[in-house]
Structure formats: structure tokens, C-alpha cells
Amino acid sequence: MDAGAPPAEALQVFGDRLPIARQYHAALASDGVDRGLIGPREVPRLWDRHILNCAVLGELIPEGAAVVDVGSGAGLPGIPLAIARPDLRVTLVEPLLRRTIFLAEFIESAGLNVTVVRGRAEQPGVRKEAGGADVVTSRAVAPLAKLAQWSLPLVHDHGRMLALKGASVVEELERDREELTRVGGGNATVLECGAGIVSPPTVVLSVERLPRSERPGRNATRKQRGR
């Protein structure tokens, strides 16, 4: 069997767009390694640990949503999402030139309708260009407190931050919950997706951006002023 051949689950996730997913796998295994975007040891597990692990995030994203992928790196999870869900409007935000070149080259060669923005999520120019999204995604970008500062301003009120996290996500949430609240995050929930497709399932922290009027501190201040 070809070492780069997709597992049976890939057809379930990508359907008739599986050839594009195979093209992405090939790009990661070659140019991605050569340019230092993917470690050589990751090549044998690109399908399950990276491509499918990210693509199943689409289970949590509504039809036609505008998605911003922060710190996209080699395009994870943004590109697998765009392949599996062509209904999504995906923007990749990445500060490093060599990575944005790789992303732009692959997107053009694959014919994907994906936008690449070079810069950091917290920069005003990036917020202006990519902001107002329905969902912002991330994977292995930063600790939760910092990630929330970067991500939540990119979504509209009641939009969501979906951060792919590891087994320690519950501890991280407890540690940074106060900071999460301070920057307007609420209704934080740890979810799993991809059951039966990837093992273990992908762990995702979902955080809603609350309107200012619904943030706990603001309500408390209003009550005090009304006394």
C-alpha cells in the first residue's frame, strides 16, 4: 500500500474533493518538510494526526460561515476545512512570509477559494481585513489567555472561537477563565468531533464572543451605578 494513500475515512470526510486533499498531503510531505513547515517525523501520520484531525472541525461550523484561521502555519486547520467544506469562506492569517508563500502557492494550484492575509491577528490592519467573521479557528498557536485576546476581536458578537486543544484543555480553561471573561469570552465548552473518523476524537474549546452588554463586569457596574 502507498504510504501516502488516504485511509478509508478520508473519503467520508472529503467526498469527491478527496483528490484535492491528496494534493495537500503531497504538498505537506514534500514542500512542507523542505521549507520547515512540517517535521519529517510527522509525514507518516499526516492523514490522521493533521489533515483529518483538522477537517472534522467542520462538524461544528454552520453552513456558509466566514472562517478565519489564526496562525495558520502550513494551513492547519484552515485548508482541510476549505477542502472538506467548499461552502465556507476561509481566510488564513499567518505572519511569516515563507509560510504565506507556501499557502498561496498551494491554494492557487488546488483552485481553492481561500484568502491569505500576512500579519498577526492582533494587528489593526489584519482585524480590519479579516474581522467580522462567524468563526475563528486555531491549532497549537498560543496559551488560551493570549489566544483569546487575538481571536475574539476577529468574530462578530455571538461568533465563536474554536481552538483545537489537547488533553489538558480543562486545566487550561480553569487557569485562564478570568482572562477569557475579561476579553469578552463566555459560554466556554470543551467539545469533541470526528468520533469514528479520528482516534482519539479531536478536542475543541468553543468560546462565544459576548456583546458588551452581556459581559458580567459591565452588568455589575451598571447595577452599582443604579443604586
Amino acid at 80: P
Q: How much is the average pLDDT of 110-117?
A: 97
Tell me the domain boundaries of the chain: 8-225
pLDDT at 198 over 60: yes
Q: Residue written as cell 494551513?
A: 75
pLDDT band at residue 217 using 50, 70 and 90 as cut-offs: low
Give residue 58's Cα distance to chain centre.
10
**Confidence grade of residue 8 (pLDDT, cut at 50, 70, 90):** very high
pLDDT, residue 39, reads 95
209/187 Cα distance (integer angstroms): 9
**What is the pLDDT at residue 220?**
45
Cα gap 134→62, rounded to integer Å? 9
Residue 224 has pLDDT above 60, yes or no: no
Q: What angle do CA 177, 181, 185 make, to 5 degrees?
A: 105
Which whole number is the average pLDDT over 206-212?
95
Contact in structure between 137 and 171 (CB atoms under 8 Å): no
Give me the mean pLDDT over the 180-193 stretch: 95
Tell me what the mean pLDDT of segment 173-196 comes to.
Answer: 95
**Model confidence, pTM:** 0.91
118-122, 179-183, 212-216: least confident range: 212-216
- CATH 3.40.50.970 for the 8-225 domain, yes or no: no
> Whole-angstrom Cα distance, residue 184 to residue 139?
21
When pLDDT is cut at 50, 70 and 90, the band that residue 31 belongs to is very high
Q: For the chain, count helices (H), then strands (E).
A: 10, 7
Q: Span 93-102, mean pLDDT?
A: 97
Q: Give the pLDDT of residue 196.
A: 94
Question: What confidence tens digit (pLDDT) does each residue in 43-92 have?
Answer: 999 999 999 999 999 999 999 999 999 999 999 999 999 999 999 999 99
> In the chain, pLDDT over 90 holds for what percent of residues?
88
